[in-house]
Structure formats: structure tokens, C-alpha cells
Structure 1
Amino acid sequence: MHWVRDRDAWLERQRADGRLILGVELAENAIRLADLPMARRPTVVLLGHERDGIPPEALDHLDAVVEIPMIGTGASLNVAVAGSLVLYKLAGFA
């Protein structure tokens, strides 16, 4: 986990340094977790609050969005679990 004072400026610096900015969120244009390819360059994974998700103003900084499909009525996973699943997939283990 990395905390910063000015999230938007930090994300822009990461992009300027060549990093992919990937958000984990429910979105219409999201990549299903199963279809997420292994990371080919340094990647920042942005996780939102378990209840509210990624803040709307941060969504503009994302290069792509990945969602974790779920069966049932729940709309979110524990943020640690969600992050672990995405990082595992990006590392090429799944």
C-alpha cells in the first residue's frame, strides 16, 4: 500500500515514468480478471474503498480497469483479497 498526499499528481508522475495505471473497479469497459494479461511493464494497481470504490476524480487517471466477476448479490470483495487476486494475475501465476 502506498499513501500519498496528492493522489492525482502522484498518478500522473507514475504515468509520465511509463507505468501502466490499472484500477480495480466495476465499470462498463472493464477487463475481466480472467482476461487480464501478465504485466509487461511496471504497473500501479489502484484499489478503492470496499464500500465506495475508486473516487470518481481518480478514474480519469486510469489506463485500464479490471473487474473481478462475482456470483450472488455482493458488489465488492475485501480490498486485500481483490488486490491479491489482481497482483497474482499480473505476476503471471494464473
Structure 2
Amino acid sequence: MINPERFQKIRKLLELRQSDLAMVMDNVNKPHNLAAIIRTCDAVGIETIHAVSQKPAIRTKQKTAGGSSKWTNLTLHDSMPELLTTLRSEGKQILAAHFNEHSVDYRSIDYTKPTAIIMGAEKFGPAASTLEHVDQTIHIPMQGMVESLNVSVAAAVILFELQRQRLQAGCYDKPTLDPAYLQKRLFELSYPTISETLRHQGKPYPPLSEERTPPFFTFSPGR
């Protein structure tokens, strides 16, 4: 049985999640970069991360990196256009981290709006076909000899500006996740072994207590 302190910590984590934010990794394929971006998403309250690739080898790396963090929700895709259509239907502004003649300073963006941020492959950035369909490209100004940052470092710089704006606007002051989804995730993160058994059996999760302490219930794996 989970102890009350950890249960409350997990609940608080979910209550701080920003349901109107999403990170999109476009063919990001180096495991250490993938894992670092996922950790930063967790740190700033992003629940949903999308990884896109048509190459099986990259998809395998993305899945492996996603499995390193149970605290975020990673979804794999092989179609960027379909994903962008879904994100747009959710009312999100779609931004891509990429320097070009139309890009703007990343700090000039209003991140309190529903937002999806696309980070591209380490060497090439987002695909040209992706850039054609974003609302805005953004860049991090440089004053040195280097022309770009490592993709995970760039993601962290942008995401902590996003967090700063949202903290200032009070976006973290109340839960934004759908209540049913929050309860589902709370059960899975608090009772991973039991939830996995119930999923395999096709059974629903027991209801969680409304109190801010762990629920106590009996569980018989064979039933």
C-alpha cells in the first residue's frame, strides 16, 4: 500500500499538469536527447508528449526513451500531418523551434495560450513539410560563435520560459486535467502493479477515495 505522503505528492503532480500543452518531437532520435526533453516536460508540467517518425529504428529509440519516465504520457506517431490536424482542432497554437527569416525570439510568444511546441531532429531541425503547417517558428538568440544549441538544451530554454509565463499568470493554481483522466492516472501511478493486472484482466480500476489519503481496498488478482 502506498504511503500517504507519496500519494499526496503524485496527486499534486497531476493537479499541476497543464492539459493545454503538448511537446512534439519530430524525428528526434538520440536516446539521451529524448530522455532529457521528457524530463524537462515533466518538470514544467507537460503531460502529453508526441514523438513522430516513419523510421522503425527511430520509433524504437523514442519508445525506449519514453519508457524511462512513467510520469509523462508519450504517444508515438508516423504521420505529422494527422497529428498537426489533431493539435489544431484542440485549439493549440503550433510552434516550431527553427531559425529562419520568419522566426521570432522565443520570448515574444504568449505561452499562456494552448500551445504545442515542435522540436526537430538533432542535425536538421523539423522537416520542411512540418514547417509549412506551423503557426510560427521561434528561435533562441545567440551572441557567440555557435549557431544552435543541442536540441534538449534548446527545449529546456523554451520550456522554462513557458513555465515562467504560466506561473506569473496563475496557470498552475488549479487542476486542468479532465477529472476522470486525473483519477485514472492517479491510480496507475500510485498502484502500478495492481493497475497493470486489472488492465490485463479487462477490469475497471476501483474508485479512489475523495480524501487526500490513499484509499484502502481489497484486491484479489485471481478474481
TM-score interval w.r.t. the shorter chain? 0.7 to 0.9
Larger Rg: 2
Matching residue of 1:70: 142
The equivalent of 2:123 in structure 1 is 51
Residues of 1 paired with 2:158 and 2:101: CA distance? 18
Instruction: Give the ranges of 4+ consecutive aligned residues of structure 1 lying more than 2 Å apart after TM superposition.
Output: 33-37, 71-75
Q: Which residue of 2 aligns with 1:33?
A: 106
SS across alignment from 1:2? strand
RMSD: 1.8
Structure with the greater relative contact order (CA < 8 A, sep ≥ 6): 1 or 2? 1
Letter of the 2:132 counterpart: D
- Please name the residue that 2:50 is paired with: 2
Helix, strand or coil at the partner of 1:85: helix
Q: Normalising by structure 1, report the TM-score.
A: 0.86
**Structure 2: 5+ residue stretches without partners:** 1-48, 52-76, 169-223
Distance in 1 (alpha carbons) for counterparts of 2:122 and 2:78? 20
54-63 or 84-93, which moves further after superposition? 84-93
Aligned-pair identity (%): 29
- 1:21, 1:46 within 8 Å by CA — same for their partners in 2? yes
* Distance in 1 between residues matched to 2:78 and 2:90, nearest whole Å: 19
State the alpha-carbon separation in 1 of the partners of residues 149 and 114 from structure 2. Answer: 25
Aligned residue runs from structure 1 range 75-94, under 5 A: 75-91=147-163, 92=165
Contact 1:36 1:89 in 2 (8 A): no
Query: 1:7 Cα deviation (Å)?
Result: 1.3
Counterpart-to-counterpart distance in 2, 1:32 and 1:59: 17
Q: Aligned-pair distance for 1:61? A: 1.7
One-letter identity of the residue aligned with 1:54: P
Q: Which has the higher helix share?
A: 2
User: Which residue identity does 1:36 align to in structure 2?
Assistant: I
Contact 1:21 1:63 in 2 (8 A): yes
